[in-house]
Amino acid sequence: MRIRERLASIAAVEGVVVALVFVAMIIFFSLSSPYFLGSQNLRNLFVESTFTVLLAAGTSYVLIVGGIDLSIGSVLGVSAGLTLLTMQKTNSLPLAIAVGLASGAAIGLLNGGLIAGMGINPFIVTLATLSIFSGGLNVLTTRAQLTGTPSKSFASLAQGSVFGLPSPVLITAIVVILLELVLVLTPFGRRIYAAGINERAAHMAGVNLRRLRLQVYILSGAIAGLAGILLASKLNSVQPGLGSGYELTAIAAAVIGGVGLAGGQGSVWRSVIGALFLATLSQGMQLLSISSTWFTVVTGISIVAAIAFSRMTQRLAAAVRPAPLPPAPTQPEPSPSDDRTPAAAG
């Protein structure tokens, strides 16, 4: 096999290029700063990345099914606000968690109902709900003082640890593993891929596309609600604008990880790699005293580079793929006259 064919086969492996670039970036930052691989810095890196990882994992389902969800940042903020408000009023951790998850799922239900039930474009719907619930959070924070709760159990959700592993990292790891297993091993996950690859073919195969999209948006909203719960626990306060920008970071993480915006391509673990890529990039730039304003510039460049490289590898793989062999020629069937024996012919 020629070198070009080997490179094409390696690049075609799902997520391998992003993973290699991610490893190279870790090596670069570890050599550039003696603090990068410090235990405290790594702990902060993983804890800070959990919110983006959760949002990216949830939005992977939406992107793979062929949709988009721009509202997850505002869902995170509203869920965080309602969770903290519930803790202040009731001091009940189970009720606060239930309120946070339910509020996220309810917004996902609203998005899915408008998109699947009424056929409105998902970009328009989620852009509208982004604005609605961002404004709703501003109203909530002006009418209620969401500046903390003395509950230690609530604080332990994001500030505690289990066997030395930060609680939010453990919770996020469990959720991500479950989402990946559901996506690749269950009929529900296969229907998501089928709908994203070819909507008409999936419908002809018996997939209820309306119900499937509704379920996916509810799931995305619930995951964003969980991220809001953890963020409220970490900050112990909710301010206006909380969650703003998270939606773009999550979508960028998914795209960098290799989730296709056209649907039918990607996986949860690839989105996680993309989220960790962005978190590591941000942390490394801070350690090198690079202005945070450059992070958004580099993020945009990374998105364009990821899409361009994906197109390039697809073309390269198609160019080196061997052409299919022509079908073997068929032998003509003998006519009845050819079956006659010489004796019969005489």
pLDDT at site 127: 94
Whole-structure pTM value? 0.84
Domains of the chain: 3-320 (1.10.3470)
Burial of 151: CB neighbours in 10 Å, binned 0-12, 13-18, 19+: middle
Helix (H, G, I), strand (E, B) or coil at 162: strand
In which band, very low, low, confident or very high, does the pLDDT at 324 lie, cut at 50, 70 and 90? low
At 296-311, the pLDDT tens digits run: 787 788 778 777 766 6
Residue 34 burial (CB count, 10 A)? 9
pLDDT at site 343: 47
Is there a contact between 54 and 172 (Cβ–Cβ < 8 Å)? yes
Is there a contact between 274 and 253 (Cβ–Cβ < 8 Å)? yes
- Is residue 346 over pLDDT 50? no
pLDDT at site 236: 87
Of all residues in the chain, what percent carry a pLDDT higher than 90? Answer: 40
In whole angstroms, what is the distance from residue 155 CA to residue 160 CA?
7
More confident residue, 22 or 227: 227
* C-alpha closest to that of 56 among 214, 257, 281, 234: 257
pLDDT at site 212: 93
Specify whether the backbone of 138 is left (phi greater than 0), alpha (psi in -120 to 50) or beta: alpha
- Is residue 219 over pLDDT 80? yes
In which band, very low, low, confident or very high, does the pLDDT at 322 lie, cut at 50, 70 and 90? low
More confident residue, 326 or 228: 228
In whole angstroms, what is the distance from residue 178 CA to residue 188 CA?
13
In whole angstroms, what is the distance from residue 251 CA to residue 259 CA?
9
- Is residue 342 over pLDDT 60? no
State the DSSP H helix or E strand holding residue 251, giving kind and residue range, or none if neither: helix 246-257
- Is residue 31 over pLDDT 50? yes
At 251-310, the pLDDT tens digits run: 988 988 888 888 888 889 889 998 998 888 888 888 888 877 777 787 788 778 777 766
Task: Average the pLDDT over 114-137 and give the result.
Answer: 92
In whole angstroms, what is the distance from residue 64 CA to residue 266 CA?
7
Residue ranges in the chain assigned as alpha helix (H): 3-11, 16-32, 39-64, 72-90, 93-112, 122-143, 152-159, 167-185, 187-197, 199-204, 209-235, 246-257, 268-287, 293-320, 342-345
In whole angstroms, what is the distance from residue 133 CA to residue 251 CA?
19
pLDDT at site 104: 95
Strand partners, 81: none
